[in-house]
Amino acid sequence: MPKRVSVVVPTYNSARFIGRAVRSIRRQGRSDMEIVVVDDGSHDETEQVVRELSEGNSEVILCRNDRTKGPSGARNTGILKASGQYIAFLDSDDEWLENHLSDGMRFLDGHPEIDVLFGNFEVVEHETNRHLFTWFDQKRTLLSLDALEIEEGFHSIQDNLFIALVKESSFHVSSAIIRQDVCKNTLFNESSCSSEDRDFAIRLDRRSGAAFAYRDEPTHIYYRHPTSLTGGNGLEDSKILLKDTMYLYNGYLDEFELSKGERHTIRSLLSEDYLDLSYVQRKQSDFRAAVGSTVSSARNRLGVGCVIELAKIAGEWVLSRRNLAKNQDCVRR
């Protein structure tokens, strides 16, 4: 019997969580689905746990990447393996609420003009199970878009989704159900390390011309963990995130046919990000790099902030040289 929906679950060292995720998928109560778990080179017992979950359950398919590719690469492996009419995603440390699939697929079945359905979810602190917030409560740009409520709680986006997404990260892939033909034409960007969900939605919009809708009701739980890209170095984490975002923005300028207003928006955001990067580099006493970032900011949009930042760089450089000279005098004495 052909599968109507493929659920892609990327996992890496998630032996503690993967069982909860898979059980939440099974609670959807569908006999027409496959669960494609992609182990991205785990070093813990993830593979063993998944094999135990798949015993006597042919809907669970375990794939293993030959090398660690990151979340985007693992999702791409799952997309290429998927056979369902629809493709959905769930991160291995999160879980779906009941009827996530059934309600979403019913909506898409009834509205063939919609290619991508995404939605709201609850953000919960993993250690305490404390509810932190509901995702859409903090997404003003998305909720301000012109959208047609074509069913109660389901909204077809009529506005410029590209601008909304570059301004605000409102799309989370674990909330999405996507038609297979659209999804397989636009894979995840494996070069992005932090903004892969938003970038995927942007590429679905611009490359595939996908039509998007969102639903108000939260249908999954995102568990927030105290993780860090660099083991707790806040400035270094900020630098990595900024560089990743700027890499994507510059890519959009080169790759997509953008209107004058869209290009202006991207360049304004790039200018802000380059200034933020300059601040980080200045605090790390990397003054040469900070000057370069400020110049890049000015090239995208010249403003008084660039002048102020250059003055701060100069002032802190002079102060650092004076402190260095004092320390050298103390050593000589």
- Tally of domains in the chain: 2
Could you give the CA distance from residue 188 to residue 201 in angstroms, rounded to a whole number?
A: 9
Per the domain annotation, does 229 fall within a domain? no
- Collapsed DSSP state (helix, strand, coil) of residue 130: strand
pLDDT band for position 230 (cuts 50, 70, 90): very low
**pLDDT tens column, 125-179:** 999 999 999 999 999 999 999 999 999 999 999 999 999 999 999 999 999 999 9
- Domain span holding position 163: 5-224
**Pair 173, 26 in one domain:** yes
* Adjacency order of strands within the sheet including 60-64: 60-64, 33-39, 5-11, 86-89, 177-179, 116-119, 212-215, 154-157, 147-151
Per the domain annotation, does 113 fall within a domain? yes
Helical H segments across 159-286, by residue range: 161-167, 180-185, 196-206, 234-255, 260-283
Could you give the CA distance from residue 244 to residue 248 in angstroms, rounded to a whole number?
A: 6
- Collapsed DSSP state (helix, strand, coil) of residue 214: strand
Over 60: is that where the pLDDT of 56 sits? Answer: yes
**Pair 137, 172 in one domain:** yes
**Pair 117, 248 in one domain:** no
Distance of CA 228 to the CA centre of its chain: 15
User: Which candidate, 43, 38, 31, 41, places its Cα nearest to that of 5?
Assistant: 31
Q: What is the CATH number of the domain that holds 310?
A: 1.25.40
Q: Which pLDDT does position 290 carry in this prediction?
A: 97
Per the domain annotation, does 176 fall within a domain? yes
**Pair 168, 95 in one domain:** yes
Per the domain annotation, does 280 fall within a domain? yes
Per the domain annotation, does 294 fall within a domain? yes
**Pair 62, 159 in one domain:** yes
